[in-house]
Structure 1
């Protein structure tokens, strides 16, 4: 039954403590004469010794599997049921479906932004905080959703959560479209964010489950286009739709699209999470053989309650006790918060300073989409290229190369430059194309940083991919939701747009060295990490 070594789970709280956290079985497996499977560090895609597990320990674990006939494992290194061995078309179909899902859910974050003034008038609201919170409360749902989604994905797999999330997202969007007051609108938008956080939380885990290391950068870029382009494309279409049919039709359109995606995702998405797939195989073999003692190689000795408890705490433990994740998350969170500060004020800036109408105001978001496309495309290309180049030279891959200091540092500086250009040209009433160019630079830079950071953290803590993504999402989304609340007050203060954006630029400037620090010292810190020694 167990004739080869199992693939270690990517982000599970159920893995054996003897298994390395940086395990990556995509390079193939090597068997000794007795049939026990041994993986060399170079085959795992990590440097020797970086996981604190010796070859003797690995061999002992493999021999234990070989000696126990009741342990169910993959049928050799080329088992077609192993997601790593799927045909490329099947892998990329999964990534394509995930990308579509992550375009739809972020549409809800800002597609109705051009209609904020209409909503305030209809519900008799005058508060500037309410105006910005109508947009940012959705992102608050993105902050809390991952704390529940990540552990559930480790217990029940990815696919069920995608399907349940799609259904709940559509239902909550109906409630938003039918809202009769500000409180009801805010409540349903928060629930939309909770349900919509599913593909954003576990999408990177699904990619890590099936994509080889040298293709992971491109796959991450394709998946990331959804949450990046959604908030940019949405307001463009939303502006014209709101003028023609009113703000409620923005949400009815999302309901229609979301409803169509429910059966599409159900039939096209495949489960990728190794522990769940092996558990299904075990259940099937128990039925076929009548042997109730069969158990999955990746099964946990913990109860479901213990597993859930460990998994639900892990994202916060990673965020608080892991310096790499803490500082990287802080960098991403601050820049993401600034991005949403710009998002929530575009309607007021371009209508007040440049006379854009309800229908054309959405065009102000176009530079953000173009900039994000550039940032994601360049980052994905360079990230995979450097991995392939190192492999061709026979160098052992280490996650830190994803940080690309010759790329992330210029991106950090360009991010600040974009803020300066945007702020001062708006304040001086320079032609609208110039501040839009500043926004394009800012968005290209922020995506270059975010993609590099997320790819690095995914590989540095590969065994906990979903939990790492959840930790990133919590801090990022909290600042994305809360920072915009003070945006209008900041710009209306003595600082105005020039010094207000300059202040944000100087804060971002202080964070520029962070990726370089971990490029140099990241490997040493990972060796000392408590998450390389325990759950």
Structure 2
């Protein structure tokens, strides 16, 4: 059930001045955006277009409206001669909603005052948008940085706490990623209720507090617990950052901002070990956490005074509350008020991803496949320090440089994907439309499966890189060769990651964020658990056969990439996701 707010976009209308073809295209685009608005907490869509509810949620909304109406009539403030027109602020424009009762003439609907309303985040001055995007992007760099900056200092930690457990040595690094899996389950639905800014502040405060806790940890168990909660609170910026950018920047200008936003999560885990290696060697492992607390604190202060709320439903809800107090009209309702209780928001944000995981074979298969590749990445993060110190004699300060191979490989993978994916899907869509036009069939447009051809390439590069990394390190070949092997793994990993993410977005537009949430939860669990087997495996099998074991598993999973290409569309059409 789609709000008729789809007919407006930041105060502009679709009717008039458009030819039939462009008008239809614009209507389709707005309809798609409107359908996706309920995923606005972390999807790349605006939060100011409307909302979509299933039948049960629409029933709850109608009950909420009826209850508000009864309360208004029963209120002592109600007066028989109340001028309803006073409920509408000067210049206030109205709109319609799902049920057909709300129309352009309804004075009880609170909306933007016009297309140039300065409260609308789309109309903010450029400097404010840059400040908001810049600070949030900076936090999305610091938070992933914390996942790996600690890795070179792990030998110091286990020595200080007299631990001999290889599993604990790995888990103290990867447990942070477990927090990344848990955090979005809480903060994504909360952002739909309270907005984005308050969650950024809470996340920053918790991130700083638990980094200080890590720096002062008296035991290894305490360090693990603090690391987990640091990951939970550190996930806020990544969870809601994309939505904040979509709140402020129109779709045609959003690419550059999203590119900047994506750099942090990509480079953070790579820069972390390089900086952490030198810092741990010079000042000890605890100073890695003090540095994170200092940087996080500085950004938190800047965000406290500079970041402004961009989530349109919350902005309009505050405006509605203010107008209710000024006018005494309790029937006023924000145009973007979905009428759902906090319990409904949590149910929608937490339960839906798991329902999709079990109801959609495409989501289940891609999530499990991503879990393996993501687990391999963090397995390397947790073991490369031991490998390059033990096999090549790297010091604590220089061992972090060994991680540069993964970073360079990731950048190459981003370049390859960006240079080929969009061009390929446009080409395939044009070919399909030409065939459809020749045969008189409807145009198919851009199928999500057009994103998939690079998937087998990434699936092959991962085992190839593992074999090179493992056996060249086993035979002490010059250190640059195993680092090249890790770079190949990085290329394959980022290609798989980007292909799967964009495929899910294209395939599940209405529930895109929930589909990605499924993927994030499953892969983060693997990223936290799989590394526990890394060091024990290398200890028993050696670095050569250990990485070969991982490579053989990756080779065995290679047919999955081909199967998704061949059967993905069939599975999507047979197991349609709706009314979740």
2:544 pairs with one of 489, 493, 498 = 498
Does structure 1 residue 236 correspond to structure 2 residue 251?
Answer: no
Q: What residue ranges of structure 2 are gaps of 5+ in the alignment?
A: 37-51, 53-94, 434-442
Structure 1 partner of 2:211: 173
1:186, distance to aligned residue in structure 2 (A): 1.1
> For the structure 1 residues 501 and 414, does the alpha-carbon distance in structure 2 shift closer, same or farther, using more than 3 Å as the test?
same
1:391, distance to aligned residue in structure 2 (A): 10
Structural mapping, 1:54-69, within 5 Å? 61=98, 64-66=101-103, 68-69=106-107
Structure 2 partner of 1:508: 554
Q: How many residues are matched?
A: 508
> For the structure 1 residues 202 and 322, does the alpha-carbon distance in structure 2 shift closer, same or farther, using more than 3 Å as the test?
farther
Structure 2 partner of 1:250: 288
Distance 1:286 1:382 in 2: 53
Does structure 1 residue 435 correspond to structure 2 residue 482?
Answer: yes
**519-528 or 224-233: bigger deviation:** 519-528
Does structure 1 residue 328 correspond to structure 2 residue 374?
Answer: no
Does structure 1 residue 264 correspond to structure 2 residue 311?
Answer: no
Distance 2:456 2:30 in 1: 24
Task: Indicate if the aligned counterparts of 1:380 and 1:451 stay in contact, CA closer than 8 A.
Answer: no
> For the structure 1 residues 131 and 100, does the alpha-carbon distance in structure 2 shift closer, same or farther, using more than 3 Å as the test?
same
**107-116 or 172-181: bigger deviation:** 107-116
1:136, distance to aligned residue in structure 2 (A): 1.0
Structure 2 partner of 1:9: none
Task: Indicate if the aligned counterparts of 1:115 and 1:242 stay in contact, CA closer than 8 A.
Answer: yes
Describe the SS at the equivalent of 1:499. helix
Describe the SS at the equivalent of 1:97. helix
Task: Indicate if the aligned counterparts of 2:124 and 2:248 stay in contact, CA closer than 8 A.
Answer: yes
State the TM-score, normalized to the length of structure 2: 0.77
Describe the SS at the equivalent of 2:493. helix
Task: Indicate if the aligned counterparts of 1:47 and 1:398 stay in contact, CA closer than 8 A.
Answer: no
Structure 1 partner of 2:42: none
Structure 2 partner of 1:483: 530
Structure 2 partner of 1:3: none
Does structure 1 residue 194 correspond to structure 2 residue 240?
Answer: no
Q: What residue ranges of structure 1 are gaps of 5+ in the alignment?
A: 1-16
Q: Which of the pair has the greater relative contact order for Cα pairs under 8 Å at 6+ separation?
A: 1
2:108 pairs with one of 63, 70, 74 = 70
Does structure 1 residue 453 correspond to structure 2 residue 472?
Answer: no
Distance 2:98 2:344 in 1: 24
Structure 1 partner of 2:14: 30
Describe the SS at the equivalent of 1:31. coil
Distance 2:127 2:567 in 1: 38
Task: Indicate if the aligned counterparts of 1:108 and 1:254 stay in contact, CA closer than 8 A.
Answer: yes
1:407, distance to aligned residue in structure 2 (A): 3.1
Distance 1:215 1:515 in 2: 33
Structural mapping, 1:201-216, within 5 Å? 201-213=239-251
Distance 1:184 1:508 in 2: 35
Distance 2:210 2:134 in 1: 25
**499-508 or 523-532: bigger deviation:** 523-532
Describe the SS at the equivalent of 1:493. helix
Structure 2 partner of 1:132: 170
> For the structure 1 residues 137 and 397, does the alpha-carbon distance in structure 2 shift closer, same or farther, using more than 3 Å as the test?
farther
- Work out which of the two has the higher radius of gyration on C-alpha atoms and give 1 or 2: 2
Structural mapping, 1:345-494, within 5 Å? 345-380=383-418, 382-383=420-421, 400-401=447-448, 404-464=451-511, 466-494=513-541
Instruction: String of CA shifts for 1:97-151, please: whole Å, max 9, x gaps.
Output: 2321111112222212111111111111111111111111111111211211111
1:43, distance to aligned residue in structure 2 (A): 4.2
Structure 2 partner of 1:301: 339
Distance 2:306 2:426 in 1: 30
**509-518 or 387-396: bigger deviation:** 387-396
Distance 1:384 1:374 in 2: 16
Instruction: String of CA shifts for 1:387-446, please: whole Å, max 9, x gaps.
Output: 788999998896745863343332222222212211221122211101101111211221
Does structure 1 residue 310 correspond to structure 2 residue 356?
Answer: no
